[in-house]
A = this chain, B = another copy of it.
Amino acid sequence: MNAPLNAPTLATVADEAGVSRQTVSNALNSPELLRPDTLARVQAAIEKLGYSPNRAARNLRTRSSHLVGLRVEPAVEDSANALMDRFVHSLVESTREAGYHVLLFSAEGEPAATDGYDELLRSAAVDAFVVTDTYRGNPHAAWLTRRGVPFVAFGRPWGDPSARHPWVDVDGRAGVVQAVDHLVGRGHTRIAWLGWQKGSYIGEDRRSGWVDQMHAHGLSTSRLSARGDDTLEFGARAAQALLDVPAAERPTAFVCASDTVAMGALRTFDELGLRAGRDVALVGFDDSIAAQVCTPTLTSVRQPLEQVAVEVVRYLGRLLGHRPIPDPGCVLTPTLVVRQSS
C-alpha cells in the first residue's frame, strides 16, 4: 500500500497555505514568531490535509532513547490521594513490558505549562511524554501538540473538542452511579454529595453521576450537596453543615468526590459520636491507602490504574511506531470497593 507516500508533508502544507516551509516549521515550533493570520492559515492547512507533525518530528530524531517522560507534582501532605503514585508504579510496569523506561521530571517553583518539558525536548532525552494534568485546562497538551511531540494523556481533553491526541480516562460518573446504587440498595434515600468547586470538569462529571442516579431512583437531591476544595477541612465542615438540620431532613449517607473529603467527613462523624457503617454510610473516591487501613475502613471508588497504564502504553506504541490510531480516546470503568463504612 502506498498511503504513506501520499501522506501530507511540510511541503504540501506550505503549498496549501501559500507560505514557505520555514513558516510551516515556525508554526509548529515557534508559533509566537508568526502573525496571527498567517498562523491561522497554516493551522487551517494542517487541519485540512490531516498533516501529522508527530510523524515529522519522529523523522527528525536520530536516536530513540526508549524513555517516556512523566512530570511529577510535589507531594501533598494531609491529603489521602496518592493516586498518581499508584499510576507511576503501574506505568513503570507497563512501559517495561514494551521496552521503555519512565523518566521522572519536575518543574521548578510554580509550574508553568512548559516547565521541564522544553528542557527535556532540547536534550532529546525522551521519545514521548505521558501527561497527567490535562484537567487543569490542558496547557501541556496544547503546547506539545503544537510542537508535534508524541504524547498520551491520562485524562480527557475536557472542554477541547478539537484535541486530537490519544488519551485514556476513567469514567468517574459511572463510579458515582455505582456508589449511589450501592447505597440505595442498602435502603438509603437521603444520600448527600460532597464535591468540588464548579469549574472542575472531573468534579462536575462525578457529581453528574450522583444527580442523575438519584433522579433515576426517584430521589430528591435538594439541599443534599455541598461544594468546596479537595481538603479534609472542607469534608469535615460540609458534613457538619448537612447534619446540622432536623433529624428528618438529615442525610443518612454521603458520597464524596475524593477520599480526602471522605476522611474529613469521618472526623465530623467522630466528633458527633456517629459511626460510619452503623449510624451513617460513607463512600469515598480513589481507593487510597488511607481508605484501606483506617478504622472503620472506607468504601471507595477504585480507578483501574493498572489498565489505564496498559492503554497508555498501547497508544504510545502506536504513536512511536507510526501506526494508525483508530480511536483517540479510551474510557475505562471504575469499580466500587465496599468496606465497613457503608
Point out residues on A near B: beta carbons under 8 Å.
Answer: 65-67, 72, 74-75, 77-80, 82, 85-86, 88-90, 92-93, 96, 101-106, 108, 120, 123, 125, 232, 260, 263, 266-267, 270, 288-290, 292-296
Question: What is the chain B residue whose CB lies nearest that of A290?
Answer: B290
> Smallest distance from the beta carbon of A229 to chain B beta carbons, Å?
15
Contacts A101-B105, A289-B80, A290-B289 hold; do A72 and B96 have CB atoms under 8 A apart?
Answer: no
Instruction: Specify how many copies of this chain sit in the oligomer.
Output: 2
B residues in contact with A296, CB < 8 Å: 270
Given contacts A293-B232, A295-B270, contact A74 B89 (CB under 8 A): yes
Instruction: Judge whether B106 and A67 touch: CB under 8 Å.
Output: no
Given A82-B82, A101-B105, A293-B290 contact (CB < 8 Å)? yes
Provided the pairs A292-B77, A295-B294 are in contact, do residues A104 and B101 lie with their beta carbons within 8 angstroms? yes
Closest residue of chain B to A275 (Cβ to Cβ) is B270
Q: From residue A185, how far is it (CB to closest CB) to chain B in Å?
A: 25
Known: A74-B89, A266-B295, A293-B294. 5 other contacts (CB 8 A): A82-B82, A85-B88, A102-B105, A267-B295, A290-B290
Is A289 within 8 A of B288, CB to CB? yes
